[in-house]
Structure 1
């Protein structure tokens, strides 16, 4: 026994997390993403297999994903900034609204039903998938960024949706910036700066939101200390990050062997598959 948890159950959970981290690293490397779009659906299936109840499974996935994003966000932002590709003027406009949105999303997470998390994931990932599969360069809302007020409103929305999806905000901010004529490379670099603004307060918020809920499920080992704090799985964070970093270059090598359009189609199909999986669980 380890803190009241059978060793066999702990060993199974650890092995499953290592395998899931390795799979996530490959997928992240192939599709060029490292956030919740890959982490959340992989964790969802894993936590289902280890018996985490439906009522708390999705928020546990989202909170853990936000924690996993923290080191990735720091590394990514520093790399992009070193190349001078980050538009810091946009980061400055978005900083406060994004954090405010994350705090609001974390508050929602404490009281929201599990289906809300799936619904948000389906809606946002579905829009991203449609753009990947059918988007055209002519799909634009303007040739320059909108007013500061619109930017701040959208920043708040990015914070709320990102904290409910467990993503670093890159999908949403990339979508927004490219719709206003910014080159995709600048959009990706600038979006990397949102990761830290979203992941740190988001992870702390999910610890707060999940703390009382974990007490309602004393028999679920994956929710209890020292394996978890609230809705953040500590064992998930510790085991997921190293293996995903280790296998990501394998996925990257696969990606470099494929044309850009095939990668876009593959990621679009992946997102649609995840959307269908969550949609089915919503209606059944």
Structure 2
């Protein structure tokens, strides 16, 4: 992966931008990108999709933490939507990351694409996401917090995407503007990132991806460093423009970016 450092730096900038603007933590950028690079250099027995997902969760640990601090300082985080949902998301992430190791590389890639496709269709077809909040903000019910939280964490932990693709539409339909819904996706991505990184780093030992150098389990440390070098300065700059984007433009851009990520993972 070391020969791809410069391209990864560039994609790291995009990762930082999407972390702040959409709460992705980088998952929808890093997974297709790292998958393409890992596939190109994967040796016998390599699992490029596992490497991509593991690397994505490691990047999300730092990106989501940095963005969470920035959004907290901007006053966009609301405790009633984060607690105790974040606990159930973390539990689900443990189940999802462990389950991902039991499925094949091809199956995991298919699930990633299907996850994106369903979310895109749901966001466009169902009312409430693109049109904006039509009511006063509503709280999360106990079933949504518990069962929904575990489900969000499981899907995110399995696919390395932080859960924002489910939490943003969920909070959006509870009446929150995009700036607040995407802001809270960052702290909700943290347990997914921490749990997922730990599981993938400990899995498979030194031979997890065909013996590639610079890896800790399935996590590609070189790719993580390059992506963070591009993303962290971008997060510091991009946080200043979040509240200035019109709500509908913000929502449409979210769906468009999901569509681009879907095309990327299907074509590589």
The 5-angstrom pairing of residues 34-183 of structure 1 reads 34-52=25-43, 56-130=47-121, 136-137=127-128, 144-183=138-177
User: Is residue 120–residue 259 contact of structure 2 (8 Å, CA) maintained in 1?
Assistant: yes
Distance 2:247 2:134 in 1: 24
Bigger Rg, structure 1 or 2: 1
- Structure 1 position 194 matched with structure 2 position 182: no
- Structure 1 position 239 matched with structure 2 position 233: no
Question: Per the alignment, in what secondary structure is the counterpart of residue 111 of structure 1?
Answer: coil
Question: Per the alignment, in what secondary structure is the counterpart of residue 47 of structure 2?
Answer: helix
Q: Number of matched residues?
A: 262
The one of 271, 277, 284 equivalent to 2:258 is 271
- Distance change >3 Å, CA 69–CA 277, structure 1 → 2: closer
- Structure 1 position 23 matched with structure 2 position 11: yes
User: Is residue 107–residue 205 contact of structure 1 (8 Å, CA) maintained in 2?
Assistant: yes
Q: Return the offset for 1:69.
A: 1.0
Q: Return the offset for 1:63.
A: 0.5
Residue by residue over 1:226-280, the C-alpha shift from the partner in whole angstroms, topping out at 9 and shown as x without a partner, is x011111111112221023356789999999998766765654453344245456
Distance 1:144 1:252 in 2: 26
Residue by residue over 1:17-49, the C-alpha shift from the partner in whole angstroms, topping out at 9 and shown as x without a partner, is 331231341365379344211111111111122
Where in structure 1 are there 5+ consecutive unaligned residues? 1-12
Where in structure 2 are there 5+ consecutive unaligned residues? none
Q: TM-score, normalised by structure 2?
A: 0.80
Distance 1:267 1:119 in 2: 21
RMSD (Å) for aligned C-alpha atoms: 3.5
| Farther-moved stretch of structure 1 (231-240 vs 14-23) | 14-23
User: Is residue 55–residue 114 contact of structure 1 (8 Å, CA) maintained in 2?
Assistant: no
Q: Return the offset for 1:70.
A: 1.1
User: Is residue 17–residue 235 contact of structure 2 (8 Å, CA) maintained in 1?
Assistant: yes
* Residue equivalent to 2:216: 229
User: Is residue 102–residue 202 contact of structure 1 (8 Å, CA) maintained in 2?
Assistant: yes
Distance 1:132 1:278 in 2: 20
- Distance change >3 Å, CA 264–CA 81, structure 1 → 2: closer
Q: TM-score, normalised by structure 1?
A: 0.76
